[in-house]
Chains A and B, each alone.
Chain A
Amino acid sequence: MIAIRKWKITKDDLVARTVLFPTVALTMVFVYAFIIFTIYISFTNSKLMPSFGWVGLQNYIKLFKLDHWHIALKNMLIFSILYIGLSTIFGLLMAILIDLNKFSETFFRPIYLYPMAISFIVTGTAWKWFLDPGIGIERIMQQWGFTSFHFTWIKDSEFAIYTIVIAAIWQVSGYIMVIFLAGLRAIPHETIESAVVDGASVFTLYTKIVIPQLSAAFLSVFVILGHMAIKSYDLVVALTSGGPGRATELPSTFMYSYTFTRNQMGIGAASAVFMLAIFGIIIIPYLRHQIKADVE
């Protein structure tokens, strides 16, 4: 009986399904069908346009022979670790500081959050000018009399990737702060009060009691930052456009240039599939966790 009732379509169901149908259909076609298409393209000899000559794993073999791709992967690793690590630390620190001093909240919270309201292109362009030795901070410091001041990371192949990290952290830390702030507010007052009564210092209070209770917030932060790190494209394009030379190429810019400007669509698709796999590694455990939580 119950099984039959489950499948009976009521009027409400019908409306819900009709309304949802376009979204579901469009997502199926424009997200999932194209993922499958991209995977297929990565096994073909596509160059300027998609074509359907099967070449097996050749594109993947070529991809991993490319120095350019190794640079991109290495940069992604540097970028992701620093970006996720430092924005989490800064975000948490700002959240705790605001939480400790309720009066400053209305003033500081918007200030910390504003960078997130700016598009990545604007952030990238602004930081490009700011870090440019000819017009930015170096010049200003030198005009103020600090003639020995030098900050030329953005023009240096070895350090340019760190300028992207700086700009990205500047942008996202406030957002991370808000997530942690919400997590902090959700902690029941009783535990904190009893800890204070027991004579815990502020440091012990946070390290032993508060932060361990933020595990859900930490998980969200890692997933959000993880996928943003892999996707980052606009910031790099605006800030360094992959340069100097090819020093700040990331998998996303690599994928774009091979697919769309270098007439090597097969290799571009292979790199996209590889990025998808990295995504999967980050997202799937999270989704499983979520679904499990929902079922319970």
Chain B
Amino acid sequence: MKKSLVIMLVLVLVTSFSLYAGGKTEEAAMEVDNSVEVLHWWTSGGEAAALNVLKEDLEAKGIEWIDSPLAGGGGEQAMTVLRTRATANDAPAAAQMLGFDIIDWAELGFLANLNDVAEKENWDAVIPDALKKFSKYNGVWIAAPVNVHSTNWVWANKKICDELGIATPITSWVDYITALDKVQASGRIALAHGGQAWQDATIFDGVVIAAGGPEFYKASMIDLDPTALGSDTMLKAFGMMTQLRGYLDPNFSGRDWNLASAMVIEGQAAFQMMGDWAKGEFLNAGQVPGTDFVAFRTPGTQGTVTFNADQFVMFKVDESKRAAQEMLASAILSPSFQVAFNTVKGSVPARTDVSDAEFTIIGKAGMKELAEANKNGTLFGSMAHGHAAPAAVKNAVMDVVTSHFNGQYGDAEAVEKLVQAVANAQ
């Protein structure tokens, strides 16, 4: 008995030592590592197809792509995994990230310096300032922007609209409500939606602008001015959310956004209010823009664009992996990839010098509107997607919006809670 214990102990010591020694030799034989690990949450059909463009591009250049997909629309799971891995010193070469999260990571010193590539390829001149706010930190390039999405869109099933005599695009809130009423009266679901916090908040972006115009959006969502947050205009915005709530099917909570898109595609529902990533779903399902489906800005928000931009944030990696990482960064910003990717994904390029020849009508309109909004000062970061305020504030706003939208708060109560929540989160 005792003997066997001693033998076991010795065995344990020997194996652990040999494992340790084995690890050592592996480290000594380090060579240039031509692989990049990319962590992302693009798992739905349209998104995965778009990302494949980048993967194939890199594989053609001899770089091995290690895919780390983590499903979940807003990337919550992905961020959790990323944090654990960064703490364990095992960060991937690149990770998909949004807005203020990038700055949070940069502050902690986890991110790589991309200035060499950026200078060589002249990123400063071609990337819009609104994006640079997030891809540069203290003058150092830390991320490669992939695309610019905007959130204030409505997607409509053209056949249902034609059948019911609804003229598109709809440009005023009153017309929009009339149209929703018509659809509901016809026995279909008027508005396809998934009751997840980020989806509720995505609608809220557009509704705030429709209620109070671009200045109000800036004052309340970006400057977080307490008087704007507690104003009657905000009450109106929550009232509009309550209105929209009446057009959903009873089974909406927890539904993924792409399933809501599918409801519009299949003709079960007429409209969906979702960012322009929904276009990828429509195209992927073989729908033709203009004949099968149409898209227009959330009624009452024409001329204003609330954007969010996916970026690939580069983490500090071993010297051996630097070359592959820089190749990845450069590939992301190459004009050919920006066109190929964004035509599939439904977004618009993160570079301003890319031709719009290959884009659909909706894509061309999106690019033009983005450029105009940028010029007129009506291009704002989206609150729902972490481009208007830091994560703590964003989540505080989302809590209120989603609780209100799911019936926990009344309109006036929601305004009150919003002011409190934002103050507490700062």
Contact = CB atoms under 8 A, between A and B. Distances in A.
A155 B424 contact: no
Interface string B245-256: 000001111100
Contact of A244 (B83, B253, B390): B253
Interface in A1-35: 11, 15, 18-19
Interface residues of B, number: 38
Contacts of B399: 67-68, 246
A47 B86 CA distance: 15
Q: Size band of the A side of the interface?
A: 20 to 34
Contact of B424 (A19, A65, A245, A261): A65
Nearest to A12: B2
Contacts, number: 89
Contact of B391 (A133, A157, A263): A263
A243 B104 contact: no
Contacts of B408: 157, 245-247
Nearest to B81: A260
Nearest to B84: A260
Interface in A214-250: 240-241, 243-247
B407 interface: yes
Given A155-B250, A243-B253, A245-B407, A66 B424 contact: yes
A133 B253 CA distance: 11
Given A19-B5, A243-B196, A261-B395, 17 more contacts: A18-B9, A49-B86, A62-B424, A68-B399, A155-B252, A157-B407, A243-B197, A245-B197, A245-B402, A245-B403, A245-B408, A246-B402, A246-B403, A260-B80, A261-B79, A263-B104, A264-B425
Interface in A242-296: 243-247, 257, 260-264
Interface string A32-76: 000000000000000111000000000000100111100000000
Interface string B370-408: 000000000000000000001110010001001111111
B405 A241 contact: no
A133 B420 contact: no
A152 B104 CA distance: 41
B104 A47 contact: yes
A132 interface: yes
Nearest to A14: B2
B85 to A, nearest CB: 12
A68 B392 CA distance: 13
Minimum-distance CB pairs A-B, first 4: A245-B406, A244-B406, A134-B251, A245-B403
A133 B254 CA distance: 13
Contacts of A133: 250-251
Interface of B: 2, 5, 9, 76, 79-80, 83, 86-87, 101, 104-105, 108, 195-197, 250-254, 390-392, 395, 399, 402-408, 417, 420-421, 424-425
Contacts of B392: 47, 262-264
Nearest to A265: B83
B251 A155 contact: yes
A64 to B, nearest CB: 10
Contacts of B101: 263
Given A243-B406, A245-B408, A246-B403, A132 B251 contact: yes
A157 B196 CA distance: 13
A21 to B, nearest CB: 11
A133 B80 CA distance: 32
B83 A49 contact: yes
A67 B101 CA distance: 24
Contact of A152 (B5, B250, B391, B404): B250
26 contacts: A18-B9, A19-B5, A47-B392, A49-B87, A67-B420, A134-B251, A152-B250, A155-B250, A155-B251, A155-B253, A156-B407, A240-B254, A243-B197, A243-B254, A243-B402, A244-B253, A244-B254, A244-B406, A245-B402, A245-B403, A245-B404, A245-B407, A260-B79, A261-B395, A263-B391, A264-B392
